[in-house]
Amino acid sequence: MKTQGVLLKKSILLAALILSLTLAASLMMENTLAATPAPTPEPTTTPKTTPPPDATSKFAYEAKGSQKSSLPAPKTLTLCNYTTPPDIGTITQISILLTGIPEGSQVRAVIFPNDPDSNLPLVGKPFLQTYALNVTSVSGEWYNFKMKYPAAQNTVYWLGYYSENYTQYFFDNNNDHISLTSQTKGDNSTLLPVLSWRYHGKTIMSLYAQYTAADPQHTPTPSNTDSVISGIPGTDQSFHDIVFVLLIMGAEFTIVVTDHNQKKNPLSSNNSISTPVFKNQNRMNPRFRNCTARANMVVALIRKRLRLKK
Confidence check: pLDDT of 4 > 80: no
Q: How far does the chain reach from its first CA to its final CA, in angstroms?
A: 21
Report the distance separating Cα 2 and Cα 28, nearest Å.
Answer: 39
Residue 143's pLDDT is 98
Confidence check: pLDDT of 220 > 50: no
Is the N-terminal amide bond of 52 cis, ω within 30° of 0?
no
Contact 96, 144 (CB under 8 A): no
Confidence check: pLDDT of 253 > 80: no
DSSP notation for 70-95? --PPSSEEEEEEEE--SS-EEEEEEE
Torsion sign, CA atoms 121, 125, 127, 129: positive
Confidence check: pLDDT of 297 > 90: no
Q: Report the phi/psi class of residue 291: left, alpha or beta, with left for phi > 0 and alpha for psi in -120 to 50.
A: alpha
Confidence check: pLDDT of 90 > 90: yes
State phi, psi for 32 to the nearest 5 degrees: -65, -45
Residue 305's pLDDT is 61
Residues 109-145: pLDDT tens digits?
A: 999 999 999 999 998 899 999 999 999 999 999 999 9
Q: Tell me the C-alpha to C-alpha distance, in Å, between residue 179 and each of 139, 168, 238.
A: 21, 13, 88
Please state, for a pLDDT cut of 90, what percent of the chain lies above it: 41
Q: Tell me the C-alpha to C-alpha distance, in Å, between residue 301 and each of 295, 296, 307, 308.
A: 10, 9, 10, 11
Residue 186's pLDDT is 73
Return the number of other C-beta atoms located less than 10 Å from residue 145's C-beta.
Answer: 21
pTM value is 0.54
Report the distance separating Cα 281 and Cα 288, nearest Å.
Answer: 9
Which alpha helices (DSSP H) does 186-234 contain, by range? Answer: none
Mean pLDDT of the chain: 74
Taking the domain 56-213, which CATH number applies? 2.60.120
**Amino acid identity for residue 229 in this structure:** I
Arithmetic mean of pLDDT, 49-74: 82
pLDDT tier for residue 95 given thresholds of 50, 70 and 90: very high
Arithmetic mean of pLDDT, 29-35: 56
Arithmetic mean of pLDDT, 42-67: 74
Confidence check: pLDDT of 266 > 90: no
Residues carrying CATH 2.60.120, the chain: 56-213
Contact 92, 109 (CB under 8 A): no
State phi, psi for 91 to the nearest 5 degrees: -80, 115
